[in-house]
């Protein structure tokens, strides 16, 4: 699964990495992004613009927006069959920029948080799905979820799942603006190449969502 991540790259770096029309506005470094918080996304509705969605998918048909806290991840192997995710997979896909994510590893009976990133910490894209939920009084909430897959060789000693990290050459296919057949998308939803992946233990500051500070990603 993926329950925390970071995005500390500059707006100019994000514009270049994702071919945005302009550098994103209102984007500050985030060191400990947690579920139910706003996250930066690039949707297939506006593939050259960065917007913000709440992390935790609320299906458009849901009567209870509190389900968002249980919808932070979607298993890529079964998303096409799950009522909560199957329509979004066909029609509403997004990139979620990140430059690292966290996972907890059990060591001597203790759960140790690790910060996982790529050498040099370049920004990368996690595959996501997005939705628009409208309440009875006309209020609108835009939400998203992170797709996960089985762990690659680097992640396997840490956890059996990891986020789907897309290759740059696959961004356009993932952000295809129309409806896409799940069978055509499935080849993209695979464990990423482990080359260049790195991990180190960090402070348990990251355990608290309110600790969104540089110290959260510093080596313990």
Smallest Cα–Cα separation from 146: which of 66, 61, 217, 41?
41
Catalytic residue among 45, 77, 94, 103: 103
Q: Does 2 participate in catalysis according to the annotation?
A: yes
Token look-up 């348990």 returns: 204
Beta strands 124-134 and 140-150 are antiparallel
Q: Does 103 participate in catalysis according to the annotation?
A: yes
Range 172-203 burial, b when 16+ CB lie within 10 A, else e: eebbeeeebeeeebeebbebbeeeebebeebe
105 burial level (CB within 10 Å; 0-12, 13-18, 19+)? middle
Catalytic amino acids? 2, 103
């Amino acid at each position: 699964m993926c329950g925390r991540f970071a995005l500390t790259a500059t707006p100019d770096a994000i514009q270049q990495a994702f071919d945005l029309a302009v550098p994103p506005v209102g984007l500050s470094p985030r060191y400990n992004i947690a579920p139910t918080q706003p996250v930066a996304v690039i949707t297939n509705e506006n593939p050259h613009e960065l917007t913000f969605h709440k992390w935790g998918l609320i299906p458009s048909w849901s009567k209870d927006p509190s389900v968002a806290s249980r919808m932070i991840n979607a298993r890529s192997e079964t998303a096409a069959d799950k009522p909560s995710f199957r329509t979004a997979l066909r029609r509403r896909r997004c990139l979620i920029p990140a430059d690292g994510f966290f996972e907890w590893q059990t060591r001597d009976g203790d759960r140790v948080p690790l910060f996982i990133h790529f050498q040099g910490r370049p920004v990368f894209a996690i595959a996501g799905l997005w939705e628009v939920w409208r309440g009875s009084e006309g209020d609108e909430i835009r939400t998203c979820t992170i797709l996960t897959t089985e762990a690659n060789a680097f992640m396997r000693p840490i956890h059996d799942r990891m986020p789907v990290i897309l290759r740059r050459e696959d961004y356009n296919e993932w952000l295809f603006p129309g409806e896409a057949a799940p069978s055509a998308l499935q080849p993209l939803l695979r464990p990423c190449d482990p080359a260049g992946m790195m991990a180190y233990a960090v402070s348990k500051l990251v355990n608290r969502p309110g600790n969104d500070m540089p110290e959260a990603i510093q080596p313990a």
